[in-house]
Chain A
Amino acid sequence: MTQPQSKNPPADPPLTTATSAVGDERGLSKKGLSAGSVGLIGAIIIGISCIAPAYTLTAALGPTVSEVGVQVPAIILVGFIPMLLVAFGYRELNRRMPDSGTSFTWATRAFGPWIGWMAGWGLVAATILVLSNLAGIAVDFLFLLISQVAGTPELAELAHNPVINVVTCLVFMLAATWVSYRDMQTTQKLQYWLVGFQILVLVLFSVVALAEVANGNAFDATPIDWSWFNPFAVESFSAFAAGLSLSIFIFWGWDVTLTMNEETRGSEKTPGRAATITVGVIVALYLLISVSLISFAGVGEGEFGLGNPDIQDNVFFALAGPVLGPLAVLVSIAVLTSSASSLQSTFVSPARTLLAMGHYGALPEKFARVSPRFFTPGYATIVSSIAASVFYAVMRFLSENVLWDTITALGMMICFYYGITAFACVWFFRKQWFHSVREFFFTLLFPLVGGVILGVLFFTTLIDSMDPDYGSGSSVFGVGLVFVLGMVVLLAGVGVMIWQRVRRPAFFRGETLSRASAD
């Protein structure tokens, strides 16, 4: 006898869940009763490995230098502000409407199906962009690691062969999909070591770079100056905006520590503490590395200069050897492990959003499939992986500086969907704004200011990127590649949305997920 697959199970199946079947008085371990909880250290570790500082910096430092020169430290400090403001809104929404669709669900609730759909699309597009970038960085470092171990520098050059590069990248993607589909997570203990190792290597990298500067062995010794920390020293608003949208990317992922509210063990303060410590560690690392590398290599266009377009999309790749000599292999390992963890945690988010979109009928029902064996969004995971792989392969042949351009486009996408999320928070809680001082700040002021900043960044980047010289300087039909990328992604979203409107009108009529507000 087979039951028809139905999305909504029959009401009240004869079921005892753990919570109702047994109480604590039976002395049963708490493990069986809920999905578990994360302690303070666990939350910090998850936060740091989501941000993946080693990967993030090697990918973002070059493009940021190309925009704002030596003022990278200032941009890092300022970039944190909109992220923090939006994260507050994210936390409020997550507390009120925990849902695997996050931005998609929240924006739909606040602004209706069309905007909600595009927010979901923005999130999925951003994570797919970062997946392809992550895999690309991992490929570079894999070949670097092999060449370091084998002692033959020519091997590292293999990473520049587009065919070898794309094939290796696809193998990485396949492995990451496999791991995500089967939900094979590294244990917390192993992750402690990996994160600890990553931080130690980054600190070592910076300290050695500074020591080399002091010893006069630096490539282009640049004296550290207070103006590096002054955001007003950036030449133009365009550069400032571009730098900021990149620094949004470097803090992306941090918000998870702030939203792990239901799961964290201990007092109510645990998530806040975890988020504070995480961001403290991250900001300290970012400042240390950016200051030391600028001081070591300068921002000129020389061989190892951070302004050299040939090394900008992956600066650790170029600088690990000159700074650390034989120890450079540690940097390769750190970036590889950092990318691997990040690849896994990043995979989860487009898959879960696609799943939620399938669940609410905004996409075909296939997307809502949960693997009965591994309890992961199986179909959505595979679709995300294919999209990221195709995207990477196409981009690699289209642009030499694929990594760089994806990072810039990525910053734009994050601004897009985070901005919508921030506004969704403001609008959803509109009846509660003045209930208390706390509500005023967390549901109105903070997310509103954050959303406006992100909105300005989004439009400024969009307009500036039309210039063919923008970013890495790649262009298509005389228009900057970053602009083309952003527009193609967003317009494709509009196209798919209209197609889904025709195929699945129920969602767009608000029948599956209705507009609402908190009251």
Chain B
Amino acid sequence: MARNTDELRIVVGYTADDSGADALALGARIAAATEGRLEVVLVLPIEARGGVVPPDPGYERLVKERGRGWLAEASASIGDDIAQALHIRYAESFAEGLTAAAHEFGAALIVVGAARGGLLGRVRIGSVANELLHSSDVPVALAPAGSRDVRLGQGITRVTAAVGTRPGAQRLIEASVALARASHAPVRLVSLVPIDLPSGLDAELAHLTSTAHAEEVLDSARAALPAGVQASAQVATGDSVEDAVKALDWHAGELVLVGSSRLASGHRLFLGSTAAKMLRELPVPMIVVPRTRG
């Protein structure tokens, strides 16, 4: 999925706090596993964007200098083994700056820290990640809180594509396969089947119908795989999406890819309700892929 097929370029949206450390750690882990290249980007706000506070070149300079220091510390924390470059960009918003940087570098992935006060390591999407999910046309990886404590050597042990229950996930499959190839990890296709029925209906019948439907979707997804790619496939059921997620087994070094909502406009991302529910339960990082080719 990279523009240069030989090297996966990964933009890390860095901030000098826990969330930024999560993003950096996840980005570094993916880069290490795929022998890709990290573009660590610190987005500074354009001071003149507002109509109230007068811009002050002195302060601006100081923030830029501080930003350099932060990036240098970030760089030192991931070591020299990973190809990396550090960048400072100015933009109206964090999301805008990262999207622009991803285009500039031809990056295949933007990594941001997802958590802002999420409980117990689970993900609660912060405003920054949320804005990015609404505007990016490049896949976005959400690093859950605690990603900074995962060893770099953990690598990527499996790539799971959550294909949902509706067909039409071509780009998602492609992205998953590319990532799996680059990181030499196996692919797993997963279809989640929440069974949430009003009482009175025949639960058994409903279960059969939805499961059968999910199998069909998985079959069509498998058919979409490029020749020679082997993938396991699983249907997960539960009373809810959350339960279905819990019912699956997860590797510590796993990555999950989901397609963006069908409601997203154009090539943009937008997290659908199923993906949002998954995110709450997933113990591993999630990558959201725009539905159509950008």
Contacts and interface: CB of A to CB of B under 8 A. Distances in A.
A24 to B, nearest CB: 13
A18 B89 contact: yes
Interface in A369-395: 370, 372-373, 375
B116 to A, nearest CB: 9
B149 interface: no
Interface string B89-107: 1111000010011001000
A191 B51 contact: yes
Contact of A99 (B58, B76, B89): B58
B48 to A, nearest CB: 4
A263 B48 contact: yes
Given A35-B44, A372-B16, A101 B76 contact: no
Contacts of B16: 372
**Interface residues of B, dominant DSSP:** helix
Interface stretch (B79-87, B164-172, B191-199, B244-252): B79-87
A50 B51 contact: no
Nearest to A183: B45
Given A1-B77, A6-B69, A18-B88, A344 B45 contact: no
A32 B89 contact: yes
A8 B79 CA distance: 20
B274 interface: no
Contact of B62 (A100, A102, A372): A100
B118 interface: no
Closest 8 CB pairs of A and B: A185-B50, A191-B51, A9-B69, A13-B72, A372-B16, A36-B46, A100-B59, A188-B51
Contacts of A9: 65, 68-69, 72-73
A17 B51 contact: no
B69 to A, nearest CB: 3
Given A22-B104, A262-B57, A13 B75 contact: yes
A504 interface: no
B91 A42 contact: no
Given A22-B104, A31-B90, A186 B50 contact: yes
A372 B54 contact: no
Interface string B239-279: 00000000000000000000000000000000000000000
Given A9-B69, A98-B58, A42 B86 contact: no
A181 to B, nearest CB: 13
Residue of A17, A35, A105 with most chain B CB atoms under a 10 A cut-off: A35
A191 B52 contact: yes
Interface string A161-191: 0000000000000000000000101111111
B49 interface: yes
Contacts of A3: 72-73, 76-77
Contacts of B219: none
Interface in A13-28: 13-18, 21-22, 26, 28
Given A15-B72, A36-B49, A352 B56 contact: yes
Interface residues of B, number: 51
30 contacts: A1-B77, A1-B79, A13-B68, A13-B69, A13-B72, A15-B72, A16-B85, A18-B87, A26-B104, A31-B46, A31-B100, A32-B89, A32-B91, A34-B90, A35-B60, A37-B48, A46-B52, A98-B57, A99-B58, A185-B50, A190-B51, A192-B51, A352-B56, A352-B58, A355-B62, A356-B58, A372-B15, A372-B20, A373-B19, A375-B44
Residue of B19, B72, B101 with most chain A CB atoms under a 10 A cut-off: B72
B84 A15 contact: no
A11 to B, nearest CB: 9
A124 to B, nearest CB: 15
Given A15-B86, A99-B58, A185 B63 contact: no
B44 A186 contact: no
Contacts of A35: 44, 46-48, 55, 57, 60, 64, 90
Given A22-B104, A372-B15, A16 B86 contact: yes
A267 interface: no
